[in-house]
């Protein structure tokens, strides 16, 4: 037992390496994980003290555990059996595919990444590009939402900036878990977005097995009280209108809901509008082409980024006008289900329509969309004619409790802001005291006018005449 053994140096190094790894995995790593886990739990507890809706335990469960729970879910197992019966595929192969879907969908939430990094970045970006304003805000109804209910923010989708704005403005209330499309599954965005609690979805997938895994994750998150944010339109609006709802994610929530047994779900309508949408020309081109394929041309990206940086460095950069977010009246799924005693699509369809109606109702009216709507009514208008029409439309909307954000509460100044921003982009031309629309840019102005088309309505000519008399 005490004899000396001669070993080659490389074998001794290998043995020591294995011994070190074994020691670390059995003694050191668990202790380190426990140490950081305790620190994380204390930090989350302090964070929850200031949040209106604390982070639910579902978000803090290890990602591996959630993936396993989702993979072995009884409904998913049933879907695997049906898939194998239909296709003849071995169950083990189908199960491995389910696990791949689960790993793709389930986020890796980091409270530090979200609250210490993402919120600050969102605030910096928002204020760097826009003058951000909070529009309609029914605080009494929002404060009355049951603390035990799952909150789902349902939003119109104007721009990819929507994620940034709502993340920042909702920062003091709760963490938001977004459903993110394929565009974000690229390096390095994928790891960052997943760490902020977003889950990836394949919007165009018709694979029944994938849809079941996605549906069960949404239902688990909803049952777990996770605050979510979804876009019922399913994608960016190509023509500027608040579009018709798609039933996908909403149907998953309603399918897993049992009135009187399930945790209540409260939908909070959120409407956003901008004086300038960064992707406006890309979206308009896609609408004209009749497709949703957005080609990313790096030479144009580099050119625009370079121009922007140069304007910043030389002090010639002007922010893109106003961005406004409004919150509508919450909608309880329990109360809605009592009024509509149905299940499946018979419940989801009227729910989606009511949600979109509430979103449309609180869309903020900003200077550029209103000026754009006026300029599209007639080929050439003077500044006085635009101002008169602007005041008439504003007066009419105020009688219908439409949320109107006008800078400095001065309508004459608001007209000036709208015209200046459109002139800077050369969407309109000023000739003397008259303004005309560049013919090739009419669709772009239409994109902005469409955002409030459902709010402008019609004005009686006698109202305009009365305004003209008032000067």
Tokens of 457: 């309505």
Interatomic CA distance for residues 260 and 314, integer angstroms: 62
Candidate from 48-57, 77-86, 421-430 with smallest mean pLDDT: 48-57
Report whether pLDDT(363) > 90: yes
The structural domains of the chain, ordered by start, are 104-278+320-361 (3.40.1130.10), 367-470 (1.10.10.10)
Report whether pLDDT(461) > 50: no
Interatomic CA distance for residues 264 and 110, integer angstroms: 26
Report whether pLDDT(401) > 70: yes
Q: How confident is the model at residue 471 (pLDDT cuts 50, 70, 90)?
A: very low
Q: What is the pLDDT of residue 81?
A: 93
Q: What is the pLDDT of residue 438?
A: 93
Report which of residues 29 and 411 the model is more confident about: 411
The predicted-structure confidence for 318-337, as pLDDT tens digits, reads as follows 788 999 999 999 999 999 99
Interatomic CA distance for residues 320 and 128, integer angstroms: 9
Report whether pLDDT(353) > 50: yes
Q: How confident is the model at residue 393 (pLDDT cuts 50, 70, 90)?
A: very high
Secondary structure E strands in 342-455: 380-382, 428-431, 434-437
Helix (H) or strand (E) holding 299: helix 298-314
Report which of residues 234 and 355 the model is more confident about: 355
Interatomic CA distance for residues 113 and 121, integer angstroms: 10
Report whether pLDDT(382) > 50: yes
Q: What is the pLDDT of residue 71?
A: 93
In DSSP terms, 200 is beta-bridged to 180
Average pLDDT over every residue of 96-104: 92
Average pLDDT over every residue of 84-95: 91
Report whether pLDDT(39) > 60: no
Q: What is the pLDDT of residue 462?
A: 41
- The residue written with tokens 């080659």 in the block is 8
Q: How confident is the model at residue 219 (pLDDT cuts 50, 70, 90)?
A: very high
| Among candidate residues 408, 401, 434, 404, the one with its CA nearest the CA of residue 419 | 434
Q: What is the pLDDT of residue 199?
A: 80
* Helix, strand, or coil (residue 200): strand
Candidate from 171-180, 183-192, 194-203, 220-229 with smallest mean pLDDT: 183-192
Average pLDDT over every residue of 269-273: 93
Report whether pLDDT(295) > 70: no
Report whether pLDDT(448) > 90: yes
Interatomic CA distance for residues 337 and 241, integer angstroms: 28
Average pLDDT over every residue of 64-76: 92
Report whether pLDDT(89) > 60: yes
Say if CB 5 and CB 15 are below 8 A apart: no
Report whether pLDDT(110) > 80: no
Q: How confident is the model at residue 307 (pLDDT cuts 50, 70, 90)?
A: confident
CA 27 vs. chain centroid, Å, equals: 43
Q: What percent of the chain has pLDDT over 90?
A: 39
Q: How confident is the model at residue 153 (pLDDT cuts 50, 70, 90)?
A: very high
Average pLDDT over every residue of 182-197: 64
Report whether pLDDT(99) > 90: yes
Secondary structure E strands in 139-297: 150-155, 177-180, 199-200, 228-230, 265-274
Average pLDDT over every residue of 441-454: 94
Q: What is the pLDDT of residue 43?
A: 55
Q: How confident is the model at residue 41 (pLDDT cuts 50, 70, 90)?
A: low
Say if CB 209 and CB 79 are below 8 A apart: yes
The Cβ of residue 82 has, within 10 Å, a number of other Cβ atoms equal to: 14
The predicted-structure confidence for 9-35, as pLDDT tens digits, reads as follows 776 677 777 677 666 555 555 555 555
Average pLDDT over every residue of 242-255: 89
Q: What is the pLDDT of residue 1?
A: 55
Q: How confident is the model at residue 189 (pLDDT cuts 50, 70, 90)?
A: low
Report whether pLDDT(124) > 70: yes
Tokens of 222: 């909803």
Interatomic CA distance for residues 242 and 230, integer angstroms: 14
């Amino acid at each position: 037992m005490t004899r000396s053994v001669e070993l080659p140096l490389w074998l001794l190094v290998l043995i020591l390496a294995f011994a070190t790894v074994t020691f670390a995995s059995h003694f050191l790593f668990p202790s380190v994980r426990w140490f950081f886990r305790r620190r994380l739990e204390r930090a989350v507890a302090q964070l929850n003290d200031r949040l209106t809706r604390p982070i639910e335990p579902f978000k803090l469960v290890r990602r591996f555990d959630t993936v396993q729970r989702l993979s072995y879910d009884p409904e998913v197992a049933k879907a695997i059996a049906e898939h194998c019966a239909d296709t003849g595929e071995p169950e083990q192969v189908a199960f491995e595919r389910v696990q791949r879907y689960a790993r793709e969908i389930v986020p890796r939430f980091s409270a530090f990444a979200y609250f210490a990094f993402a919120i600050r970045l969102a605030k910096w970006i928002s204020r760097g590009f826009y003058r951000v304003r909070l529009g309609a805000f029914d605080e009494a109804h929002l404060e009355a939402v049951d603390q035990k209910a799952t909150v789902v923010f349902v939003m119109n989708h104007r721009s990819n900036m929507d994620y940034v704005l709502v993340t920042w403005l909702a920062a003091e209330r709760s963490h938001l878990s977004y459903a993110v499309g394929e565009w974000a599954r690229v390096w390095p965005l994928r790891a960052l977005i997943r760490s902020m609690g977003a889950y990836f979805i394949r919007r165009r997938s018709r694979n029944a097995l994938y849809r079941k895994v996605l549906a069960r994750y949404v239902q688990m998150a909803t049952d777990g009280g996770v605050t979510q944010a979804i876009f019922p339109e399913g994608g960016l609006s190509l023509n500027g209108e608040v579009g018709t709802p798609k039933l996908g994610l909403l149907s998953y929530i309603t399918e897993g809901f049992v009135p009187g047994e399930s945790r209540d779900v409260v939908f909070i309508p959120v409407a956003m509008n901008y004086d300038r949408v960064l992707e406006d020309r890309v979206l308009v081109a896609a609408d004209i082409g009749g497709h949703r394929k957005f080609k990313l041309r790096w030479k144009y990206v580099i050119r625009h980024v370079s121009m922007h940086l140069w304007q910043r460095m030389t002090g010639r950069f002007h922010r893109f006008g106003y961005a406004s977010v409004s919150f509508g009246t919450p909608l309880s799924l329990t109360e809605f289900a009592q009024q509509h005693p149905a299940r499946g699509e018979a419940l989801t369809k009227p729910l989606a329509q009511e949600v979109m109606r509430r979103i449309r109702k609180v869309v903020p009216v900003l200077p550029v969309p209103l000026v754009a709507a006026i300029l599209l009514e007639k080929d050439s208008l003077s500044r006085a004619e635009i101002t008169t029409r602007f005041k008439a439309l504003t007066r009419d909307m105020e009688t219908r409790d439409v949320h109107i954000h006008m800078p400095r509460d001065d309508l004459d100044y608001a007209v000036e802001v709208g015209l200046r921003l459109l002139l800077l982009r050369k969407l309109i031309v000023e000739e003397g005291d008259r303004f005309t629309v560049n013919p090739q840019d009419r669709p772009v102005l239409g994109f902005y006018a469409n955002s409030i088309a459902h709010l402008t309505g019609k004005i009686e000519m006698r109202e305009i005449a009365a305004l003209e008399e008032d000067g």
